[in-house]
Amino acid sequence: MISKTTTVNDAKQHLIDHGIRPSVQRLAIMKYLMEHRTHPTVDKIYNDLRPSMPTLSRTTVYNTLEVLVEHDAVLELSIDSHTSHYDGATAPHAHFRCRRCGAIIDVDMKDLALATPESSEFTVEHVEISYTGLCARCINDNNQDNNQDNNL
């Protein structure tokens, strides 16, 4: 019970800290992103939240994520060219995406903190480092069964 309440409060505070009014829907989505470190898509969030919020609209999920991203409360990942994934984590880190099952895994950046390039041509606001390849599970399953979409 404590942890549940704590997450709600954390999420609420996080929204306020980023200048976002904590509506019921925004809170639910922010809380979802803080609890699930799976880098979900709009549809994943929408489908997972709907059982407990039957009136939730897909458009609201789109709208809310747009607001969260604009206010830097959440990160939009472009690692998957088919659809956007969202990340509630704040500390800088990279991502690995399995080209077979689509799973996205956090990659610690440790000390390879990669200097932001200096240029007269542009001003950098965000950095995204993406690795692609096969995850351990998909390497193993390769010969054997078809195990797609297990980890999305």
Partner DNA sequence: AGTTGTTTTTGAAATCATTACAAAATTACA
Partner DNA sequence: TGTAATTTTGTAATGATTTCAAAAACAACT
Q: Which residues bind a second copy (CB under 8 A)?
A: 76, 78-81, 83-84, 94, 96, 98-99, 105, 107-108, 112, 114-117, 119-136, 139
Coil vs helix vs strand at 142 = coil
Burial of 15 (0-12, 13-18, 19+ CB in 10 A): buried
Interface residue with DNA among 17, 66, 108, 149 (CB under 7 A) is: 66
CB neighbour burial string for 83-103, b if at least 16 within 10 angstroms, e if fewer: ebbbbbeeeeebbbbbebbbb
Residue 52's beta-bridge partner residues? none
CB of 132 to a second copy, least distance (A): 4
Which residue's CB is nearer to DNA, number 70 or number 108? 70
Closest CA to 149 of 63, 94, 82: 82
57 binds, among a second copy, DNA, none (CB under 5 to 8 A by kind): DNA
Residue selected from 8, 10, 47, 53 as contacting DNA according to rule CB under 7 A: 53
CB of 52 to DNA, least distance (A): 12
